[in-house]
Every structure is written in structure tokens, then in C-alpha cells.
Amino acid sequence: MSKLPAADTLAASIDYTPPRKPWMEVPAEFRPGVYSYPANPKNLKILDFPNPRQWAPEDDDWKLPENWQEIIYEGFKERLHKYRSLKVFMDVCVRCGACADKCHYFIGSGDPKNMPVLRAELLRSVYRRDFTMAGKILKSLSGSRELTEDVIKEWFMYFYQCSECRRCSLFCPYGIDTAEITMMGRELLNLLGLNINWVMEPVANCFRVGNHLGIPPHTFKDIVDFMCEDIEDITGVKIDPPINKKGAEILFVTPSGDYFADPGTYTFMGYLMLFHELGLDYTMSAYASEGGNFGLFTSAEAMKRLNAKIYAEAKRLGVKWILGGECGHMWRVINQYMDTMNGPADFLDVPRNPLTGTVFSNARSTKMVHITEFTADLIKNKVLNLDPSRNDNLNVTYHDSCNPSRAMGLLEEPRYVIKNVCNNFYEMPEQTIREQTFCCGSGSGLNNEEFMEMRMRGGMPRANAVKHVQEQYGVNMLSCICAIDRAALPPLMEYWVPGVDVTGVHELVANALVMRGEKERETDLRGEPLPGKEG
Amino acid sequence: MNVLYSLLLVLALVVIPLIGAGALGWHTLFGVFIPLFAVVVFLVGFVYRILDWGRSAVPFRIPTTGGQQETMPWIKQSKLDNPSTTAGTVGRMALEILLFRSLFRNTQTQLSQGPKLSYGSSKWLWLGAIAFHYSFFIIVARHMRFFTEPIPMPFEWLDKLDGILQIGVPTLYLTEIVILAALAYLFLRRVVVPQLRYISLPADYFPLFLILAIVISGILMRYFIRTDVMDIKTLTMGLATLNFSVPEGIGVIFYIHMFLVSALLVYFPMSKLMHLGGVFLSPTRNLANNNRMQRHINPWNHPVKVHTYQEWEDEYREQMKEAGLPVEKE
């Protein structure tokens, strides 16, 4: 692994001056810290993906299949037909440059190929040569080029330096979405067996075992039991969450990041406490024990294979509707793809909150509700007994996770919940929140250790906005509704904004939640003394 | 180099009619055949491109949501930036196409020591783009005077409005000034801003120069190298009614103007200028965010290999029983 330079050294190295040579003549340079390790062949074998083998990006020979050009050509052709987005986005860009400084990886690296327009040109240049009249006649004058191995290497570099956050798409006059371009680029690379392990291992684990981390069912139960012990220690309330329980009313699905590592675990404890307090008739599933879907970062087919488990399990368990935890791209998959890929969910009912009677008609087809929608409804109807002063030691800001904001539009619900469970809430500058939010720098399967330099560069705009509210209002807690954020933001904060911790929204809810029969709480879920109990 | 290639190409396009219609006097070729050919290529090409895009599937609804979703009634939805109905989507598209809303949002990022990032509003590109497109549109509409008889009132009004300042004889059109300024701005930012220069292709400079040459030749013809307007109208009406007549005495400047316009028409369907059609077809903008409310069908949705519950339980049954988890098969 590479050594990460100090924050000020890294910041000083950002240079927005483009190279002197035209971009087509600048090959991708693989140095530690800016690329992710290739997929372990065993993970590709589990999934029947092509060309499993040992290789390294810094090698000259990437061991591509013999007919790799033909594979790319055919794959490209197929996708142009399957996706109007790809075809239109290949054709209509006028290179106005409005997207250029919207990408967090460009802002943090200065590498012009991280400008969304140029990232897309990496594909377009090949598209023009193979699929347009102008490219065939005018050759390089049209901006087209030969498909060489260097081009493939460049694709690998830059399609795995895009976190599919869609911020550029918001500013593009034609709505060109680099997430779509990157997804297509990655699909094509996957045809040649060019994938990264941090994406393929979660996909393989999720497919075979049920979740990204490969936690088998009995261990899943152990983890949940362990958390319940902690909850009992803190609150005095004993809870026993159901797993694989048939006939429950609600199936609860959340990302495995929430039960694997801090601070996600506190959010998970928050869900369990809330459900217990409500007396909710729900169940979790050890088979569909993953809400996140790294298939989204692989191919539409992989995404569909993993997502299929949620409806299948809802059907097997005979639940009425599904509740989803705090997760970023999981919600992108649910909002934009699930019903289309694996529906219709006609064996389920339109979700109805059993405590308030609210019918979630905005989820009447997918039958799946976001937990902040659910909790906001509970608070609005005054179902919960909340004591926000228990969070008074926190000055909280909120990071809009990219996917729920720009691929769903979930902006107000989490804010409503936070404002009702915390007394001290401060927004970051408006160009960095809501639909204009910045990525954590580690999305779309890029939150691995070896990629740390790029993560810190890409996360800089987000960190910078947090630093602003830290200086302005003394913010010490960054809340979010995404498990990847909860994994990615702590190192980012430690690097750029020391003194700010990261939390999920339902950890804050659980701290404020006054439970029936609870003992007088001395600490929050993290074991830190509550305000006034520092004694 | 890209700038130079494009400039030379446009100059060559000026020289062709200069020789062909000027020195050689092939007026019918440059006054009738080439323009007609160009119109046919434009129409066929444009329709073909739209149909070609239309042939590709839209498997998933992927709107970029620029505001609050539709949710519970007490949370205000952003109906235009995150529409869930057709009316909202039409509104969003109208704002996009008529007012360039996404471009209006544009910000500029600045990095100062610290490091400290700041984001300022940046509306110059929006202003340049809107000035260019609207003046271009008005100029094209004004030209309908040459292809209609009697001239419909709206074209007359537009003409009056455009010349409202009544400067000089013939009256100076406002759009001529605006489009020159806008083209100059759009060109200069490509040359001056390093990032933009880096991403600009010949295909970006060429249409700018071509349109600039068209505007300049038009201005020259109107104010400086006069040619008889009635003769031109006879020719253009002949084109419009397919009843061709090529009056003698039309100046070569007209043939240059006409040839450049023909070149633009031919170039249009095979170039980035097709964003005119493409902007209507962008799936991140022209779809409602109602996926969770209504099922949307993917025409190529095919079955995939999944790992079923049964296969999964077979692998973990013993451990599950030991942990007290329910199983289907004992």
C-alpha cells in the first residue's frame, strides 16, 4: 500500500493546468494510491464472469482475451441498442464544459480526465470511430481514435475513478449522466475480465452468502445478539429481533455495513431499538441480509441477480411490505431499478404504517419504504417519546448521500428526523448539500485502502464544507444516510477535519428515544456519557 | 491546431462558391441544386438520427432528481426539478429547453490556500448560450420573409421588433450584434480557458466559425456589398415553391452566404449540433421520478441466474439449526 501524503502536501499538489500534450497522447499512469487492485479470480468464478486470472494494472501485459477488440465492439453495439441514454449521451455533448469543475475527483486531483466531459470522451472517441459516419470519414479530425490496449488501460483507470455520484448530470444542459457512462464503461471492461476486487468480492459474497462481507446466517445472528446485549447494558431494555420469521408484517432490509463496523453498528442498534419500542411486527432475513448492491457498480445483470433476493424473500416469508435501512446506492437500485428488474411485487400490499395508519402511496408499486420516510411519519404523528437534549453534546450537520439525493430526491425526510432528535443542527453551504451534494469520495466500490490517496482527493470538497461548519458553529458530528458514507467519511474527516465524528440518522434517533421500561441512561450508544452525566 | 484546421475548412467553404458562382458563373448549381440537396440531407439526416435514438430502448427510469421527491403530503415536493407526473416533466423540459435551466445553475469552483474551496454563481455561459440560441432562432425566423408570400404577420412583427432601434438604412438588426458578441464569447472562452481548450475538438470550433461566416456574409450583403433583394426573393420563393428561377445579377456574396448555410445544413445531422434534437430525448430529464409508484417495463428484461433460497439453505442448514434460526427443510 502507498504512503498517504500529509493533508497540506496533498492540497498543495493540486494543479488545474492541463498537460501540454493533447489528452489522447497522455497515457494512464498507474501509481500506488490512484487505482484499486484487480479482482481475485475466485470471485469471478463464483459469478461465472469472463477471463478470471491473476494480473496487475502496473503490468505491461493485462492478459486480455485474444479477440478483445471484437468483444468490446460487440459489447458496445449491444449496449447502444439497449440503452438510449448511452446513445444520446455519446452524440449530444457539445463540450461546453459546464460539468468540468463539478466532479469531486477533478476538484481534488486536477487531472483533466476526471472532468466528466473528458471521462465520457474516453468512450466517445472510440464510439465515433466505430459507430459514426463522421468518424469513419474524418478519422482523427472528428475526435475519434483507434481502440488500443492503452485506451483500455485508460478506461480502467478513469471508470474506476468515478463514483457514479451524478453531480455532473445536474449541471449538464442535456442531463448527460457520467454515472451512465461509467456504468457502461465498467460493463465493457467486465467483458474482458477487468474488474476491481473491492467491487467483485462483495458481489460474489452477496450472491453466494447473502451480504457483501460474506457473513453466514449463524454469524449474522451472533452479531445481532451481541448488539442486543449492548443495548440492554445501556438502556436496561431486553430485545429479541426476529430473523427469517415467517408471517411477519414487514421485512426489514439494510446494508451489511450497518452490522459490520462502527459507526454503522450504532445505527443498526438504533433500528432495533426503534422497532422494539414500536412493537413492530417485522423480521430481518439472513438470506437477503444485504440492502447494498455492488452489482450496480458491475453490470445491470449482476445488479439484477443480487436484487432478486429481496422480493424472493418477501414472498417466501409472506410479509406485507418492505422497509429499507439507511443506504445510498441501495436506494438508487430500489428507486430506479428494482420494480422494473424483479417486479411486479403484486404479492405485497401497498405499505401502510401500522402505528399511524399512513399509506405510503409514493411506494405503491415497489412496496418498499425508506426508513427516514417511516420515522418522519412517526414523529409527525407524535408516536415517539423523544428527548432531543440527550444529543445536546452534539453539533450536527447532515451530508446528503449522493444516491438518495440525486437519484431519488430524499432531502427533507432525514432533515425532519434529525431536527426532531437534535437541538443543534447546522447546514453546510448550499452549493454542497441537497441535490448539489458532494460525494464522500469513495462511492461505487472505491472505498478500499489502496485507493486512499484518490479517496482523500475526491472527498476534499465534502470535507471542506464540513470544515466550514466546524469553524463556524463548532460542528462535531456529521450525519448521513448511507453505509458507504459511514465507512468512508471517518477516515476522510480524520484526514481533513479532525474532531468530527460520523453517524447515521437512526443512531441519533435511538439516543433521543425514550423507551418504555428503560433505566436512566448514563451513556449514548457509543458508551460516551450523556450530557449532564459526565460526572 | 484544432482552431486552425477549422478556420481553414471554413475559408475553403467560402472559396468554393467564390470560384464556382463567381468566376465560373454556375448560378443554378449554387442557387438551386446545392441548397435543395442540403435541405434534403438536413431533413432526412435529422429524422434518421431521431429515429435511430428512438430505436434504442429506455430500460430504466433514471431521472436526475434535482429537488425533493413526492412523499407524504406535508413535505413539499419540488414538482419541476423532481417531477412525478407528466405535467411536471413537461414543465421541467420546457424550462430546460426554453430557459436552459441546468446551465443557469452553473457554479464556479475556486480553490484557495488552506485549502479552502468556494463556489460562486457563474452565469456567463448561460448568458452566452441563451443570447446565441435566441438570436439565431430569431434570425432564422426573420428569414422566413424570403420563403413566404404573403409574409405572415408574426414574421413581420419579428422583423420590426428586431429592428426596433431604427439605426441606419437599412435598419440595423439587434440580433446581428447579439449573435456576433455571443459567438465571439463562445469562441474566446474555448481559447482562453485552459480546460476548455484542452477538451475542444475541431468539431467544436468548426461550427462556431461556420456560423460566424454565415453571419458575416449576411451582414456584408445587407449593409456593404449590396445585392438586389427582390432578385433574391424571386430565387428563394422559387426554392420554396419548387418553381425555380435564377435571376441574373445576384451578387456572388449571396451565393457565398447560401453555400455556407447549405454546408451547415449538411453538417448538422452528423454533428454535435444534433443536441437540438437530443435534448428532448435525454432520459435523465424527460422521465418522471415515479418508479416506486408505477411499474415501468424494460423491453429486454431477461431472466438471470440467481442463488435461490433453497440452494442457500442447503449450504447453511446445519449451522442455522444450531443457531436457532428457522429452516424450511429439517
Check residue A132 and give its pLDDT. Answer: 87
Cell numbers 423480521: residue: A283
pTM above 0.80, yes or no: yes
Amino acid residing at A437: T
Check residue A2 and give its pLDDT. Answer: 57
Rounded to 5°, the CA angle A424-B71-A378 comes to 55
Distance between CA atoms of A490 and B159, rounded to whole angstroms? 63
| Mutation to test the A interface, candidates B101, B192, B198, most A Cβ within 10 Å | B198
Cell numbers 464556479: residue: B108
Cell numbers 446485549: residue: A229
CB B237 within 8 A of CB B147: yes
- Which residues of chain A have a CB within 8 Å of the CB of B5? 141
Kindly state the average pLDDT of the residues A151-170. 97
With cut-offs at 50, 70 and 90, classify the pLDDT of residue A135.
confident
Check residue B303 and give its pLDDT. Answer: 94
Question: Three-state SS for B203?
Answer: helix
Rg for chain B (alpha carbons), in Å?
Answer: 28
What part of A 501-530 touches B (C-beta under 8 Å)? none
CB B71 within 8 A of CB A377: no
| Helix H or strand E segment including B7 | helix B2-17
Round the average pLDDT of chain A to a whole number and report it. 96
With cut-offs at 50, 70 and 90, classify the pLDDT of residue A1.
very low
Q: What is the mean pLDDT of each run of 10 residues along chain B (330 residues)?
A: 90 95 91 96 97 97 97 97 97 97 95 92 96 96 92 90 84 93 97 95 95 96 88 92 88 95 96 95 96 96 95 96 93
Is A336 an interface residue toward B (CB < 8 Å)?
yes
Rounded to 5°, the CA angle B77-B83-B84 comes to 90
Backbone angles phi, psi at B264, to 5 degrees: -65, -40
Distance between CA atoms of A362 and A339, rounded to whole angstroms? 13
Contacts of A23 (CB under 8 A, 6+ apart): A112, A113, A118, A121, B198, B199
Answer yes or no: do A173 and B304 touch at CB < 8 A: no
- Which residues of chain A have a CB within 8 Å of the CB of B289? 335, 408-409
Check residue B249 and give its pLDDT. Answer: 84
- Name the grid cell of A106: 477533478
| Helix H or strand E segment including A323 | strand A321-324
CA distance to A77, A149, A196, A197, A341, per residue, from A65 (Å): 19, 12, 17, 19, 30
Beta bridge partners of A399: A480
CB A43 within 8 A of CB A201: yes
Question: Three-state SS for A398?
Answer: strand
Kindly state the average pLDDT of the residues A2-29. 92
| Helix H or strand E segment including A80 | helix A68-82
CB contacts < 8 A (A, B):
308
Answer yes or no: do A96 and B125 touch at CB < 8 A: yes
For strands A250-253 and A477-480, give the pairing.
Answer: unpaired
Looking at chain A, the whole-number percentage of residues with pLDDT higher than 70 is 100
Distance between CA atoms of A458 and A112, rounded to whole angstroms? 14
Is A139 an interface residue toward B (CB < 8 Å)?
no
Check residue B201 and give its pLDDT. Answer: 93
Answer yes or no: do A80 and B56 touch at CB < 8 A: yes
CB A282 within 8 A of CB A246: no
Check residue A533 and give its pLDDT. Answer: 87
Answer yes or no: do B307 and A208 touch at CB < 8 A: yes
Return the minimum-mean-pLDDT range out of A40-49, A404-413, A485-494, B218-227.
Answer: B218-227
Distance between CA atoms of A189 and A298, rounded to whole angstroms? 9
Check residue B124 and give its pLDDT. Answer: 96
Q: A210-247 pLDDT, tens per residue?
A: 999 999 999 999 999 999 999 999 999 999 999 999 99
- CA closest to B323 among chain A residues: A218
Instruction: Give the count of alpha carbons within 13 A of A430, CB side only.
Output: 5
With cut-offs at 50, 70 and 90, classify the pLDDT of residue A142.
confident
Question: Three-state SS for B168?
Answer: coil
Q: Using CB atoms within 10 Å of the CB of residue B23, give its burial: 0 to 12 exposed, 13 to 18 middle, 19+ buried.
A: exposed
CB B57 within 8 A of CB B67: no
With cut-offs at 50, 70 and 90, classify the pLDDT of residue A397.
very high
What part of A 297-316 touches B (C-beta under 8 Å)? 300-301, 304-305, 308-309, 312-313, 316
Please provide the distance, in angstroms rounded to a whole number, between the alpha carbons at the two ends of chain A: 44
Kindly state the average pLDDT of the residues A32-41. 96
Answer yes or no: do B111 and A14 touch at CB < 8 A: yes
Answer yes or no: do A301 and B304 touch at CB < 8 A: yes
Distance between CA atoms of A176 and A88, rounded to whole angstroms? 8
Answer yes or no: do B293 and A365 touch at CB < 8 A: yes
- CA closest to A205 among chain B residues: B307
Distance between CA atoms of A480 and A477, rounded to whole angstroms? 10
What part of A 185-214 touches B (C-beta under 8 Å)? 207-208, 210
Distance from CA of A529 to the nearest CA of B (A): 34
Check residue A219 and give its pLDDT. Answer: 96
CB count in 10 Å sphere of residue B51: 9
- Which residues of chain A have a CB within 8 Å of the CB of B116? 464
- Name the grid cell of A395: 453539533
Answer yes or no: do B195 and A100 touch at CB < 8 A: yes
Distance from CA of B123 to the nearest CA of A (A): 10
Amino acid residing at B45: G
- Angle at which helix A217-235 crosses helix A264-278, to 10 degrees, equals 70
Is A42 an interface residue toward B (CB < 8 Å)?
no
